[in-house]
Amino acid sequence: MATNKEIKQDEQPDNDKIVDLNADKVDATGTLMTTNHGVRINDDQNSLKAGDRGSALLEDFILREKITHFDHERIPERVVHARGSGAHGVFKLYESQSALTKAQFLNDTSIETPVFVRFSTVAGSRGSTDLARDVRGFAVKFYTDEGNFDLVGNNMPVFFIQDAIKFPDLIHAVKPEPDNEIPQAASAHDTFWDFISLTPESAHMIMWAMSDRALPRSYRMMEGFGVHTFRFINAEGVSSFVKFHWKPLLGVHSVAWDEAQNISGKDPDYHRRDLWDAIESGNFPEWELGVQIVSEEDEFKFDFDLLDSTKLIPEELVPVQRIGKMTLNRNPDNFFAETEQVAYHIGHVVAGIDFTNDPLLQGRLFSYTDTQLIRLGGPNFQQIPINRPLNPVRNNQRDGYMRQTIDKGKSSYNPNTLGNGFPAQAKASEGGFTSYPERIEARKVRARSKSFLDHFSQAKLFLDSQSDPERNHIVDAFSFELGKVKTVAIRERMLGILSLIDSGLAAEVAFALRLPVPQDPALPLNHSIPADGDPADYDPTIVRSSVAISSALSMAGTVKDSIKTRKIAILAADGVDEISLTTVKDALMAAGAVVEVIAPRLNYIIAESDAQIVVDHSFLTAASVLYDAVYVPAGTNSVATLEAEADAIHFLNEAFKHCKAIAADKAAIQVLEATYFSSKLPDDYSEETVLREGVVVVDDVEELADKFILAIAQHRFWEREKPRKIPA
């Protein structure tokens, strides 16, 4: 058998050939219809019958093929992350990371690595709403020259459980209850909170899930996290611990809970549509890849365990280094073939990236291949075009359902001489993957490390880091969710858990539920203390976090200097002032916003100047919750029509209720005076007031446009919620 040393250069596999990801695409434009076997079809409208009123004939192979294929078009949906949306893009490195990792796509700044990203909700089915209160999946497949690397994460940096053996329990609890299959895509029910109230390790994650992070404004405006601690390994074999982050360049923004519920009724495809439209219009979403690096010698210097997936590393302790940028620049050509069939796996890594002993990560390494086998029909799912690596696949695996590769040659085993020893094993210096030689000396046990047993410090850190409006939303979320729980004992037990995080939080939620906060709540039985442990070491009321507040955990300080891709509604009717409308519209579009005119009827409106202005939506087909801000231009007849139009007033009331920027020409003030918030209009419209209140009413249309843009960039004016006035 030929050894690696004996292989001559001209016998080496042709690794320079790159598979064309577009090779299997078919465009039927200008072609004739055929069967799946290539026979041209003369009539696709009528089945073959015994006379025009006779029975269908069994020999109709065209009918049989078409119906049979249709009957088998559905595949099992994902157990979790079923509701998703994807896009193609590229990743570009800023600066070589060769000191940390030998992964080539993180070493060479000249490489542009193709990616496919899939965003998703977790709990709901494929037909559920985009706007459920839920974790969002954020999975990235890097098609590197050394193989595929899948960074399979979420928009939250921690998870509900510490050990993968609890994952089936978590998902069974959050899915619709098995007796009646209710509720869909919602955690506000008994089984979920029964599980959470008995699982103290979920305390940190549940704070994230009840926060505004669970209601992103857009996939383009949410962070992504690898969740687990991974390893980087450089060419010298030196290992570092690494946490992965995706930082959106548009900032991190959310919607209000009431708004989310309305969007679910108005447009359940809101996030999917938003991503598609942004890419189609050339407003390509961008994120920077960030890493937190911890050296081997610093593994135990923190007051938490790096291997605990219910913990994060505060950025005050280890800053996030931004090392590259991902841009999504192409929508899929076919949703099923790409977005639905893409198969991610946390175990898809390349040389230079490796795993740690995180017990949640370790379980995921088993689970992903197992689920793809049943979902995609067999062991050859990686041959589906969206899953193929760029570099050629060469090994001795053969056959199986839907095998597409036609392997030539006599040998399909190793070692061999009949194939001259090919395919040959690659040395580490040739890019061969080698696992990090971590030294392990331990007994086999079913146990948790003592370092995993602080469940409440980081939950409190998260809560204490929120702005006042964000904290109010967390209180409201717990009050809503637990208010949907029918079993009082579960509510009481959950209040006990909240009291161990923060007594004020527990008191506010208890007030909404009209229940007392349990005194000295007992931890559930699965919070066990080892027989030889000191109870003082496991006291959950002790705050162990060395960081009191982490600014990165709040969205209050996110990017607020751009209105790019924000959707702005202009409310108008016949008789609108064309100059007022077009001046503001042009200014908004020049700043990168998407502007749509909404009127009582579709097609067009006639301005005071007799010009026809295109109408994008009527009040029947549009809704305030689908826009980021709203403007009312001048025009005597238009203003009078809108003032008398109930849908227009409701549109403005909802926009104000959901804390959005609102602007009106001073000549249109009577429309705002017809709203419920008319008494809340500012006394002046200085820049300072506009940035605080989010309302602009001035008569100089160019000044109005400038101040309106400043207001929209703030995203929301959550302080409006404080008085808790009567809803719109």
For the chain, the residue count is: 728
Give how far Cα 128 sits from Cα of 206, 266, 272, Å: 21, 13, 12
**Mean pLDDT value across the chain:** 92
Of 107, 154, 155, 331, which is the active-site residue?
154
The band of 545, judged by pLDDT with boundaries at 50, 70 and 90, is confident
State the Cα–Cα distance between residues 246 and 226, nearest whole angstrom.
Answer: 9
Q: What is the pLDDT of residues 156-173, one digit of tens each?
A: 999 999 999 999 999 999
Measured from the Cβ of residue 693, the count of other Cβ atoms closer than 10 Å reads: 20
* pLDDT band at residue 608 under the 50/70/90 scheme: very high
* Three-state DSSP state, 606: strand
Q: What is the pLDDT of residue 523?
A: 77
pTM of the model: 0.93
Residue 200: pLDDT over 70: yes
Q: Which amino acid appears at position 181 of this protein?
A: E
Calculate the alpha carbon distances from 52 to 62, 67, 426, 494 in Å: 17, 20, 66, 69
Q: What share of the chain is helix, strand, coil (3-state, %, to 5)?
A: 35, 15, 50
Please tell me which residue, 336 or 22, carries the higher pLDDT value.
Answer: 336
Would you give the DSSP letter of residue 393? P
Give the active site residue among 81, 88, 345, 658: 81
Report pLDDT digits (tens) over 549-579: 999 999 999 999 999 999 999 999 999 999 9
Give the model's pLDDT for residue 6: 38
> What is the number of other CB atoms lying within 10 angstroms of the CB of residue 91?
22
Q: What is the 3-state secondary structure (H, E, C) of 176-237?
A: CECCCCECCCCCCCHHHHHHHHCCHHHHHHHHHHCCHHHCECCHHHCCEECCCCEEEECCCC
CA dist., res. 582 & res. 597, Å (int): 10
Name the one residue in this structure whose structure tokens are 């899930």. Answer: 209
Give tens-digit pLDDT for 219-260: 999 999 999 999 999 999 999 999 999 999 999 999 999 999
pLDDT of residue 12: 39
594-599, strands of its sheet edge to edge: 617-618, 594-599, 567-571, 629-632, 661-665, 695-698
- Structural tokens at position 13: 């596999």
Phi-psi map region of 582: left, alpha, beta (phi>0 left; psi -120 to 50 alpha): alpha
What's the confidence (pLDDT) of residue 3?
A: 38
Q: What local confidence, expressed as pLDDT, does residue 443 receive?
A: 85
Report the C-alpha dihedral over residues 552, 554, 555, 556, rounded to 10 degrees: -110
Q: How confident is the model at residue 728 (pLDDT cuts 50, 70, 90)?
A: very low
State how far the Cα of 704 lies from the Cα of 685, in Å rounded to an integer.
9
Long-range pairs for 581-584: beta carbons < 8 A, 24 or more residues apart = 581/607, 581/613, 581/633, 581/635, 583/701, 583/702, 583/705, 584/631, 584/633, 584/663, 584/701, 584/704, 584/705, 584/708
Predicted confidence band at 7 (pLDDT cuts at 50, 70, 90)? very low
Range with the lowest mean pLDDT among 22-31, 306-315, 502-511?
22-31
Are 355 and 231 in contact by the 8 Å Cβ rule? The answer is yes
pLDDT at residue number 448: 86
Could you confirm whether 81 is annotated as catalytic? yes
Q: pLDDT-derived band of residue 418, with 50, 70 and 90 as boundaries?
A: very high
Q: Which of 669, 661, 670, 673 is nearest to 705 (CA)?
A: 661
pLDDT band at 19 (very low <50, low <70, confident <90, very high): very low
Domains and CATH numbers, the chain: 20-73 (4.10.91.20), 84-387 (2.40.180.10), 459-525+535-553 (1.20.1370.20), 567-721 (3.40.50.880)
pLDDT exceeds cutoff 50 at 439: yes
Residue entry with tokens 């070491």: 537
Query: CA–CA separation, 364 vs 361, rounded Å?
Result: 5
Strand ranges (E), 549-708: 567-571, 594-599, 603-606, 612-615, 617-618, 629-632, 661-665, 695-698
Please give the DSSP secondary-structure letter assigned to residue 336.
I
Torsion of the alpha carbons at 213, 216, 219 and 225, rounded to the nearest 10 = 0
Average pLDDT of span 621-645: 98
360 pLDDT higher than 60: yes
- Residue 702, both tokens: 């160019």
Buried b (16+ CB within 10 A) or exposed e, 541-557: eeeebebeebebbbbee
According to the model, what pLDDT value does residue 543 have?
A: 63
- The verdict on whether 658 is a catalytic residue reads no
**Residue 410: left if φ>0, alpha if ψ -120 to 50, beta else—which one?**
alpha
Question: What pLDDT does residue 25 have?
Answer: 77
Reported as a pLDDT band with limits 50, 70 and 90, residue 274 is very high
User: Binning pLDDT at 50, 70 and 90, where does residue 533 land?
Assistant: low
